[in-house]
A and B are shown apart, each in its own frame.
Chain A
């Protein structure tokens, strides 16, 4: 198992070995490399963020200048049953569909990594659903598959089961959206695929010289070296899933229905901001969401120290 120990050595060394001489002049280089990003942050990102923070303390209707109303939007949020429902819907969705989607993505990335004919075609076909993005066609399609006379019910009918309109039933509509999310596992799959190829071949060679089995290699080389990418996918899919909007918007026709069962947090925020012309409240909601997502991301980063393995 020498490859394993080599990894651990590198890992141990990585923590301590930072000759300061090597990092002389890093500050100047950082200014150069971060220059465009910093300009973008100051000019394009920060201004609107600050503005939305300010607006969250106002009664901004979009049509008139905002008036300062202090914390009213924030206190209103705690008395808004629809907001609490939206949080519930969103958390359920995130907690169930993100892990499943990542698992599907990782499994298929491993299968589609190498060693088969026609990989390019498989990868492209498996990515196809993700290409459709927020196309309105998805709404029609989903109704066609999960509707009362849809494909799913047709299959169930073969087995003598009488289905129902899944996509338009308050108890099941959210489930169909979770399936939609899992089904579009293409993006994390691609990132996993790229990550697999980033693993230096020498580790496998060393491991196989040591006589490690394939399974052993997978557990001791592939997985540890893939953890930064798993971590990346987890963090980003969480951030994205909390902001899920397009799919719910498209499938429910913008209503979050039936009966608010697919009313995601961001969809509700959007309705408040643009349909009810209550952008002040929507901004406050956005900052609550940021607090939740930032909190979860921070926890993720803290926990990552225990399971993510960096090669540096």
Chain B
């Protein structure tokens, strides 16, 4: 692809383009009906494909309204017998009402959100824009830190947090995020920051702008999609993270949603599948809403804010 860039003979570069805030019209309007038909066909294809994507959720919703005994015998999408009891039972089946676990999860998600947004973007700024000794080495070390499976890290981590007296608190789940241990997001933001034309911040530098101002006033606003991506992923992944929450939280009053969900089922005894499905749906609602409303920030990039 870069070949195309390279192969073309240089021609006079365009002068500074007055930036418009609007998109160009997608097509030069060849014919109203033709584009109309095309758009309808597109929607039909997207909806058909959407059904494939939606099927699991529909199936889960359907199952959550079936009596336990029917979940495995009546696997269709429309329940032959309909019951609300999975929701009322599931909500109250554990030692605490389910809202308790939702609140615990929310606390951890909130802490992680703040942590990842602030500390990862700061580190990313350094890697993307600053010149300092050993930058590539530090970058490699950062990437290596996500290449070891959690299963061999968790025991030393447990011992460490236990020494700090942090077991059964939310600290082992939040503090690492405040300290930018999630290299995924650092790398993500590095890639976005590098997509921002360097002329912008260099001009700001020449005007005497400090790094913090550049980071805060130029880089962050211009990478709103990256921040939105980070926020959405942090929310969803923390919300669903089972293993570390299981290990670090030992008291039922500290349990979170994924840990609580797991206590409905057990490979060795009778499981409450109906309650599991019902509470899974309940716990999906917050992340679905976050996604639905968060995704509009994904598309507020330079393209819409413009560079002034």
Could you list 12 A-B pairs, sorted by A, with CB under 8 Å? A5-B9, A27-B133, A33-B130, A48-B153, A48-B156, A52-B153, A133-B240, A138-B56, A197-B225, A205-B20, A279-B152, A312-B198
Q: How large is the interface on A (under 10, 10 to 19, 20 to 34, 35 or more residues)?
A: 35 or more
B192 to chain A, nearest CB (A): 6
B201 to chain A, nearest CB (A): 9
Number of interface residues of B (CB under 8 A): 120
Complex: chain A residue closest to B222, CB-CB: A198
Contact A197 B1 (CB under 8 A): no
Q: Which of A112-140 contact B (CB under 8 A)?
A: 113-118, 120, 122-138, 140
Q: Tell me if B100 counts as interface (CB < 8 A to partner A).
A: no
Mask, A1-27, CB within 8 Å of B = 1, is 111111111110010001100110111
Q: Tell me if B197 counts as interface (CB < 8 A to partner A).
A: yes
Among the 9-residue stretches A36-44, A78-86, A156-164, A167-175, the one with 4 or more Cβ atoms under 8 Å from chain B is A36-44
In the bound complex, CA of A130 to CA of B292 (Å): 14
Contact B56 A128 (CB under 8 A): yes
A224 with B13, Cβ < 8 A, contacts A52-B153, A270-B149, A311-B196 known: no
Q: Tell me if A258 counts as interface (CB < 8 A to partner B).
A: no
Contact B143 A141 (CB under 8 A): no
A10 with B197, Cβ < 8 A, contacts A37-B180, A126-B53, A270-B151 known: yes
A215 to chain B, nearest CB (A): 11
Q: Tell me if A71 counts as interface (CB < 8 A to partner B).
A: no
Complex: chain B residue closest to A25, CB-CB: B211
Mask, B224-255, CB within 8 Å of A = 1, is 01101100110011001010000000000000
Q: Tell me if B256 counts as interface (CB < 8 A to partner A).
A: no
Contact A33 B291 (CB under 8 A): no
Q: Which of A297-312 contact B (CB under 8 A)?
A: 297, 306-307, 309-312
Among the 9-residue stretches B79-87, B88-96, B105-113, B171-179, the one with 4 or more Cβ atoms under 8 Å from chain A is B171-179
Collect the chain B residues with CB atoms within 8 Å of residue A100's CB. Answer: none
A208 to chain B, nearest CB (A): 6
In the bound complex, CA of A37 to CA of B184 (Å): 13
Q: Tell me if A289 counts as interface (CB < 8 A to partner B).
A: yes
Q: List 9 tightest A-B contacts by C-beta distance, closest first.
A: A40-B179, A197-B301, A194-B225, A51-B156, A48-B156, A133-B240, A33-B126, A37-B180, A37-B123
Contact A141 B181 (CB under 8 A): no
Contact B13 A128 (CB under 8 A): no
Collect the chain A residues with CB atoms within 8 Å of residue B212's CB. Answer: 29, 32
Contact A198 B192 (CB under 8 A): yes
Collect the chain A residues with CB atoms within 8 Å of residue B11's CB. Answer: 1-2, 5
Contact of B152 among A11, A145, A269 (CB under 8 A): A269
Contact A1 B8 (CB under 8 A): yes
In the bound complex, CA of A115 to CA of B70 (Å): 44
Collect the chain B residues with CB atoms within 8 Å of residue A259's CB. Answer: none
A190 with B1, Cβ < 8 A, contacts A141-B59, A269-B151 known: no
